[in-house]
Structure 1
Amino acid sequence: MDSPPCIDTVVLQPTPFCNIACRYCYLPSRSDTSTMSLDTVRAVFAAVFASGWSHPWLTVIWHAGEPLVMPVAYYEEAFSLIASLCPPGIEVRHAIQTNGMLIDAAWCALFRRWEVGVGVSIDGPREIHDANRVTRQGRGTYDKTVAGIRCLIDKGIPFHVISVLSAQGLQAPDEMLAFYREVGITDVCFNVEESEGDHVSELFSEGNAEARFRAFLSTFWRKSRESAGIRFLREIDGMLTRILRPDEAAGENSQVQPFGMINVDCHGNVSSFSPELLGLKNADYGDFIVGNIHTDSLQAMRQSDAMRAMHRDIAAGVAACKAECAYFAVCGGGSPINKLTENGSFATTRTSFCDLVQKVPTDLILEALDRLETVLDDDMLVRSAS
């Protein structure tokens, strides 16, 4: 860890509490109603900005639990506080990932005022969404989530959705596409249900998850381009820049860099690498906590035993990925949380998560480019012959 970090993302958990109980949720403390104080927010950004390690474009993600159970006024104060601490030359962009059920005109006004990036979690049409995204009483959340999305649309607030693909969703690309178009959703991201924390996805025990996702994504991509409606598909459009970048441009993976991202829970405990590690338990890595923002400097956290142990093993895994994986240039070493959960160690390589989110989209894009090149070559032959 000789070179200084470059912090491009700060993930804050304003509360671990969530107002619903998704059946695939891995978060262990989703009934904890603790909240992050503004003093903690101040301490985080005072330290980040004073360190000199901040990227010129810093993304602040409010995540984990349901962030909108905190009041609008909290974010107004927090955003204003961060802006007051931000030095010249650094641009801060806020983003919130929400289940959408609490979105109303007041939230939309906040999102507009601060240009907040909004992500809404919705898994598709009612029968697919309500299979897993349920209240604490086991009732479906579809109606309230769609109402929140319609409020965003009515108020002209840009947003994207993240849909978790469980077995039912993977079988329904046409139904998913029709749903997005009907509701007016234009920007789509897919998360294949994965094993994280104490949640074990049934997809992988059933087998052929990679083939099923490939079939789903291929069909969805092709049909979404045949007519208007879908403007952005993360699994394709987000991957293109990584596949088509110049050879000299290094791929970035902040999840494998110490303090590439900083993750802070509501008590000020700090972790790094994959944000999903925060709140999980592991004796070998000090429960993934490198320090507390109220008592420890970032420099001390960077040199902590937990940080060194995690970085040692994560770096070993990245080196092994680079040596053996043809997709390394795209992903830059994979996701530490998935290596640990699936393989039992950071110091490992390929995971099922890699196969799904890196390999499948990359292969589909490269195959499409090969077909395009063949068509162009054939067209040039025809032109030259005539």
Structure 2
Amino acid sequence: MTDLPRLHFSRAEYAARLDKAKQAIRKSRYDAVLLFKSEDMYWLTGLDTDGYYVFHTMLVTADGGVTYLGRQADYNNVLYSSIIGDHRTFDELAGSSRGAAIKTLLSDRGLAGKRVGIQYNTMGHRADLYVEIVSSLTDFCTFDDASAMIDRWRLVKSEAEIEKMRQSANIVHLMTDAAIRETRAGVFEGKIFSALAQAIYENDGDPCALRYPIGCGPASKLGRYTSGRNYVADTDQFMFEIGCGYRHYHTAVYFHVLTGDVPKQRLSDLLKKVEEAREAGMAQMRPGNTVGAIHTAISDTYRKYGLDAYLRKSYGYQMGICYPPTWVAAPMVISGSEEVIEENMTIFIHPSLTDTESGLRVSSGETARVLKNGVEKLTSAPAELILN
């Protein structure tokens, strides 16, 4: 096992990321930060584990020191995937307090009476853990919310990260081809799901952090995954909001495949309006613009055609490193968002429209990278109506 750890980026890149974290900690006048978000741990050190669903944390100090505290089950993942040198095992016995273990770690690092930032807004920090931490750290040190400290750095991708996004997009293109090829009247949805999974695994991709909200018939209008597969009807629509990770970096695409006797011309006309709205939104993806400007541009396009009834609260979100249960990351493309767009952000935009007479929907969602002047489209939705 002399080839360990298996890192997906150079040690120089990890060193640069840790330096950014160190600067952010100092700028915020913290002495240290406790991380609970797996995406941040992965970005900083390469640590690849889904152990957040039970318990783990990473302490990063203002001098750049890193210590991982987790369960014994995660020990080999630390050695296999990360640059972490100081890793401690939580004594997982009946009645053991995670809060007390964190207090011991902070004490060992000389942080009694110091100011510590803590990530609260993450899947890895449940309410019961919060209660334990408050109980253990009150009167030991000063602590407050530092949830977004590392997030902001991750929004702007390095060239090496963009290449991972491109690799993800290449697989998504293969998934798109498989979706179009396999969707036919009478086909079991499970066969289509299998084709998507095959495209991912045969091309060294990661399973999607989000369980796909896709399906045909009534399921084509759902925004969340549900259990139980259907058969594609003679006249039907299959909604595909699909994507995958490559070294956990995600891209996605959004489109519909139709079957049978559908109002092709009306739907084609609607699709052109959706594509126009998408392009209007992407035209606002410029450094210095706000994320809210993307939402405004899409909404204004719909209003131009009298489609006010189809205005939505959100038209997309940031994409990058994602762990289950979701690939959705802030900032969301919502009205009024003042989040400032920066070069090398990567955003998924996904407008859609529904034909009022048939109830059928068309959509066109793509992931793009922000450039100095324009965007680099990472994924591409089908440009024409797909009718099988």
Identify the structure with the greater helix proportion: 1
Using CA pairs under 8 Å that are at least 6 residues apart, name the structure with larger relative contact order, 1 or 2.
1
TM-score (norm 1): 0.27
TM-score (norm 2): 0.27
Structure with max Cα Rg: 2
